[in-house]
Amino acid sequence: MSIRSKIVGWVVAVSAGAALAGCDSLENNIDVPLPSYSSELVVECYLEPGKVPSLTVTTTVPYLSPALPQLPDDVTVNLTLPDGTIVPLAFKPNYEVLLDTVSGIKFHTHIGRDALVARPGDVFKLEVTDSKGHRVTGTTTMLPPVPIDSLEYKFNDKTGVEREAYFLTNFRDPPTLNDCYRLQLHQGDPAKGALRREPEVDNSFEDRLLNGKPFVVGTSYRFDTGDTITATLYHTDAAFYRFRESVRDARNANGNPFAQPSAIYSTVQGGVGIFSVLSYTRATKIVL
Amino acid sequence: MVLSSAARCYLFVLLLSFGGPRVAWAQEVVRFTINGTVRGARGETLPGASVAVPALGTGTAADSLGRYSLNLPAGRHQLLVAFVGYQQVTRDINLTRNQRLSFALEESGNELGEVVVEGSVSLEQKLKTTQMGVEHLSIREAKLLPALFGEVDILKTLQLKPGVQSGGEGTSGLFVRGGSSDQNLVLIDNALVYNPNHLFGLFSVFNSDAVQSVDLYKSGFPAQFGGRLSSVVDVKMREGDRQHYVATGGVGLISSRLTYEGPINKGKGSFIVSGRRTYFDIFTRALNEANKNKEDYSPIPDYYFYDFNAKANYTLGEKDQIFLTGYLGRDTFGFNSPGGFNFDFSWGNTIGTLRWNHTFSPKLFVNTSVSVSDYKYNLTNRLDQFSFGLGSSITDYSARTDFEYTPDDRHVLKAGAQLTQHRFGVGRLEANSGDGRINFGSDVSYTGTDAALYASDNYKASDKLQLEGGLRLTGFRSGSDQYGGLEPRASARYSLSERTSLKASYALMYQYVHLVTNSGASLPTDIWYPSRLSVKPQRSQQTSAGVSFLLGRGKYLLTNEAYYKWGQNQVDFRDGAQLFVNPELDSEFIFGKSWSYGNEVYLEKKTGKTTGWIGYTLAWSWRNFQPQRGTNGVNNGEDFHPNYDRRHNLTVVALHQLNARINLTASFIYTSGSLTTLPLGRFGLQDIPGSRTGIDPRPVPIYPNRNSYQLIPYHRLDLGVVYKIGSRLNQDLTLSIYNAYNRRNAYFVFFEAVRDETTDRTTGFQAKQVSLFPIIPSLTYNFRF
């Protein structure tokens, strides 16, 4: 939890205490007339070596419009491979996953036919167009995966149900500048789909202050004996990191009076969204 | 440097004031100077006290140290000495030589059945001074007004003055005439206060028991002040009782105060020590303990603040006096999570000043001081063998000397010099582990030197016309980067009649240090950064003009002031700026311009059983940040209003002395709603495989326009009763009712997802308005023994 979140929490606690004197609620529904808003295409595409490329194309909508996602069906998607081959991705939404809240399989609107071949250094391009004249483009390069050196854990000195372990992930940042990372820790058996579900820990960081040095990323005391922990370390570029940070800042600004709203820093041009090749390493450890 | 046309005009005025006309006044009248100090009966200085000779229609006001000097024709005169809240004194003198005469005024309101002094000297002073846009606030006044949680707060009282806005509900930040809160020069006994807030701006650092008075300058800045663009908040600490040992204090809803003061070598000096501490943490710990076994209970972090003030003064002889002032304040915030993650967060100011006043002659004073001001925050995390620390600081070592020379009754000349050495600890980060695997530190720090020379003359050209002009030459150096500027200041007063004055002023200001924040609020993690590399000094100019009328036999002063202020190199930060421990922090700045204009109407009454004021401000504030440095600027380069822009602001403050025991007070404020940025659009983001599941992710808001939505108007009525008890009226119970009619003012607005309870799917979004403080009654017990 960020410092700022703590601060907000504290102020809310104070005001809640003050509310004892005021008796009724300090939060009320109001009507907010928002000005008109022009929609843009939203593209979300994460390529992965060995998997069939897919992506989701939606549109931005006025904030207070109905919640259903807007799926344009007039969108053409072309993926350009490193050798220049253009691969069209067909409009084939997997609507069935919209009713599936368990498996963790992601929804897509467009999908290719063949599994992707990608090596570090490969450059991919994306073009998304619709019949209204919108055109979204993007370019991404696959980064080399960064190996996880070791995983370790350590229990606290408590007993019974309070006995819990923290978890450490060790890796070394390469000497190149501007490397960014995203580390996810999933709890559970990977063979049973644990890696598709919500992670226990999901953090992003950059090497701005630790370039070329060892990283030790820890958690609080939160794991029990018998837990299977899988660490997935994504090596991302600065654009991916910045997109994710801007999404986080924009989300946090809604409901935080101290925050300054942030623009979304997309990695695509002509619309909103992210286009990236995922490059990761993975390791599993059981807490004993 | 090429002087602007305004500067050239100003120089002309200044040369006139120093030179030419003096010849015409060199008459063969024998004159002598009478000087001395004006103090309260307990020895406290009374800055601004009036020393007048009504028969000659002349007089002066005591300076910030209570000193006065009058040049009068030889012969018999009757002096009238007055200060609001004190009983006025008349004294017959026969002036046959230069003479020293000091006064000690008795407080009014000390005895049962007192007679309230009627008079209008203070308002007359305001009418006749050349200084525009200044508000003097005595702590006596502030202590009577109702306050949030019963905590008397001088900065919040200043927010009730026209032209001053608060940053939000209950906060102490000052936004003066369209300037931001970091553009205020906040001084305590000449030392700079970098963060004048406790608790993220909810309370100011000034303990009301230790403060004597505060002056707020909004325009026409005297030449001795510089370094900030928008205002000067000049706080003077009390000096302590020179006659008796006295303990005062109070027990309130959230804090207690204790002050002890008394004479040093009776008659030679005095001291005061004062402390204050909150006790939120005692309640929250008890609450946490009571709920510790509840599974979904999230412990409330520990929080408390304290501050400690001390001051001593000693008279070394008839011509010398020394003062020693100290301040130490800390906020402490601690959190221990059940997961073993602990953090401690503390921040605060440490300030010290040593001042020496020397009187060369009745016409020439000098005031020399050295001071240190330090603000720092530290955040530490611990988990098992791992520790992490983050911090920032700024430390100033300053020296200044100020001369005041009164050659005759038409001129008051001031000149001085200041030198400040800054140490900017912009960011410090440390990470360590017990086994040595992690041993990392990063420290981004700079130095800077700030220097200034100034001179000014307050020149009484005639009974009707008075001019004040000054020049301030400033310079700043950080590393190999150096900047400088000439800051002309000018003001004039023309009396249309005994009861009507026209005034005008102009000031140019430079600001060489900048607050690094991407928050709309004042946070302890805000960093100060010097002008260096691409970060040029901020600059602003302000012109103002006004008219004042003394009404109702001098009981009321009605003032109307209009102003226009414009600034260059105003700073903001790119979205997503990396502000912590960034050695290339200057690249995160973006630069723009600002301009604001408005009109302030102010009616005040300072004497009688009922006192108070009514202020109304109509104002506009604008900013523009063009696309630059790979960004779209702010608001896509289009003009926008800062969130503290308020079109209308009305304040009504009334204090009524019902009898010797009971004071009734009320304050009402109405302002246009504050501006906020709301998202107009949104989109969904599923994220990478293995992230949050479901096709119902948190929406990502899109904010195309800055501050385009206005919250509902803010209005609030506060009521207070001060009931004095005890035979000597040396105790009181103060009842404050904040937000008396329980208005739900908007603190912020956000959009919340509406979910279907059956499917747990989002079905729509609802705008929610959050209010911070409902009606809050509080009772404080104050004593003086």
Q: Structurally, what CATH architecture does the domain formed by A35-142 represent?
A: Sandwich (2.60)
Which residue of chain A is at minimal alpha-carbon distance from B301?
A: A10
Over residues A50-86, the pLDDT tens digits come to: 999 999 999 999 999 887 777 899 999 999 999 999 9
Per domain, the residue ranges of chain A are 35-142, 148-236+279-286
Backbone angles phi, psi at B108, to 5 degrees: -85, 155
Task: Output the pLDDT for position B28.
Answer: 54
Domains and CATH numbers, chain B: 5-113 (2.60.40.1120)
Q: Do B581 and B543 meet the contact criterion of CB atoms below 8 Å apart?
A: no
Matching residue, tokens 């086994």: B435
User: Which regions in chain B score pLDDT beneath 50?
Assistant: 1-27, 110-121
Out of A61, A202, A245, whose CB is closest to B691?
Answer: A202
Collect all residues with Cβ–Cβ distance below 8 Å to A232 and sequence separation of at least 6.
A183, A184, A185, A186, A195, A280, A281, A282, B690
CB contact (8 A) between residue B700 and residue A251: yes
The one-letter code for the residue type at B387 is: S
Residues 162-201 of B with CB under 8 A from A: 168, 200
| The pLDDT of residue A217 is above 70 | yes
Provide DSSP, B60-84: EE--TTSEEEEEEESEEEEEEEE-T
| Closest to A138 (Cα-Cα) out of A82, A80, A89, A92 | A80
Highest mean pLDDT among A24-33, A90-99, B613-622: B613-622
Tokens of A122: 């490969």
Phi-psi region of B466 (alpha: psi -120 to 50; beta: other; left: phi over 0): beta
Over residues B523-532, the pLDDT tens digits come to: 777 789 999 9
Task: Output the pLDDT for position A24.
Answer: 53
Task: Output the pLDDT for position A277.
Answer: 97
Provide DSSP, B165-180: E-SSTT----EETT--
Q: Structurally, what CATH architecture does the domain formed by A148-236+279-286 represent?
A: Sandwich (2.60)
Q: Which segments of B275-407 does DSSP mark as H helices, in order?
A: 280-290
Task: Output the pLDDT for position B212.
Answer: 87
Q: Give the max Cα distance, chain B.
A: 99
CB contact (8 A) between residue A32 and residue B767: yes
Overall average pLDDT of the A88-95 stretch = 95
| The pLDDT of residue A36 is above 90 | no
| The pLDDT of residue A114 is above 70 | yes
Question: In Å, how far is B516's CA from the nearest CA of chain A?
Answer: 13
Which residue of chain A is at minimal alpha-carbon distance from B438?
A: A216
Q: Do B423 and B382 meet the contact criterion of CB atoms below 8 Å apart?
A: no
Query: What count of Cα atoms within 13 Å lies in the side-chain half-sphere of residue A216?
Result: 18
Query: Which H or E run includes A15?
Result: helix A3-22
Chain A residues within an 8 Å CB radius of B343: 3
Which residue of chain A is at minimal alpha-carbon distance from B379?
A: A3
Out of B581, B742, B744, whose CB is closest to A209?
Answer: B581
Q: What percent of chain A has a predicted confidence (pLDDT) above 70?
A: 92
Q: How far is CA B396 from CA B119, B223, B285, B371, B452, in A?
A: 43, 21, 37, 8, 15
Q: What is the mean pLDDT of chain A?
A: 88
Q: How far is CA B382 from the centre of its chain?
A: 37
Best to test chain B binding among A201, A209, A224 (most B CBs inside 10 Å): A209
Task: Output the pLDDT for position B693.
Answer: 58
Q: Do B254 and B149 meet the contact criterion of CB atoms below 8 Å apart?
A: yes
Question: In Å, how far is A84's CA from the nearest CA of chain B?
Answer: 26
DSSP symbol at A161: G
Chain A residues within an 8 Å CB radius of B333: 6, 10
Task: Output the pLDDT for position B34.
Answer: 86
Tokens of B276: 């204050």
Over residues B384-398, the pLDDT tens digits come to: 888 889 999 999 999
| Closest to A78 (Cα-Cα) out of A69, A90, A88 | A88
Over residues A238-264, the pLDDT tens digits come to: 999 999 999 999 998 888 888 878 889
Question: In Å, how far is B670's CA from the nearest CA of chain A?
Answer: 20
Task: Output the pLDDT for position B287.
Answer: 82
CB contact (8 A) between residue A46 and residue B688: yes
